[in-house]
Amino acid sequence: MKTIHARVDAKNPDVAIMRQAAKIIKNGGLVAFPTETVYGLGADAQNAEAVAKVYKAKGRPSDNPLIWHSNSVQDLRDVAEFSKTACKLADAFWPGALTLVLPSKTPVYPKTIAVRVSSHPVLQALIAESKCIIAAPSANTSGRPSPTKASHVSEDLNGIIEMIIDGGFSHKGLESTVVDLSIGTIRLLRPGAVTLEMLRDIVGEVDLPNLKELENDTPLSPGMKYRHYAPHAPIILVEEGQAQTTAKIYKEKGETVGILETSKYKNLDLAAKDLFDRLRQFDEQDVSIIVAEKVSEEGIGLAIMNRLNKAAARV
Give the CATH superfamily of 235-312.
Answer: Threonylcarbamoyl-AMP synthase, C-terminal domain (3.40.50.11030)
Report the distance separating Cα 239 and Cα 261, nearest Å.
10
Convert the pLDDT of each residue in 67-85 to its tens digit: 999 999 999 999 999 999 9
Q: Is the pLDDT of residue 61 over 90?
A: no
Report the distance separating Cα 210 and Cα 226, nearest Å.
15
> Is residue 263 very low, low, confident or very high in pLDDT (cuts 50, 70, 90)?
confident
Q: What is the pTM of this model?
A: 0.94
- Those residues with Cβ within 8 angstroms of residue 276's Cβ, 6 or more apart along the chain or in another chain: 38, 145, 146, 147, 148, 152, 173, 174, 229, 307
Q: Would you say 23 and 180 are in contact if contact means Cβ atoms under 8 Å apart?
A: no
**Residue 103: other Cβ atoms inside 10 A:** 16
Domain ranges of the chain: 4-214, 235-312
Nearest to 112 by CA among 70, 60, 68: 68
Q: Running DSSP on this structure, what letter comes out for residue 151?
A: H
pLDDT the model gives residue 219: 65
Q: Would you say 55 and 62 are in contact if contact means Cβ atoms under 8 Å apart?
A: yes
Convert the pLDDT of each residue in 165-180 to its tens digit: 999 999 999 999 999 9
pLDDT the model gives residue 313: 84
Give the CATH superfamily of 4-214.
Answer: DHBP synthase (3.90.870.10)
How many whole angstroms from its chain centre is CA 146?
6
Report the distance separating Cα 90 and Cα 101, nearest Å.
12
Decide: helix, strand or coil at residue 258: strand
> Is residue 194 very low, low, confident or very high in pLDDT (cuts 50, 70, 90)?
very high
What is the pLDDT averaged over residues 248-262? 97
Q: Is the pLDDT of residue 216 over 90?
A: no
> Is residue 62 very low, low, confident or very high in pLDDT (cuts 50, 70, 90)?
confident
Decide: helix, strand or coil at residue 228: coil
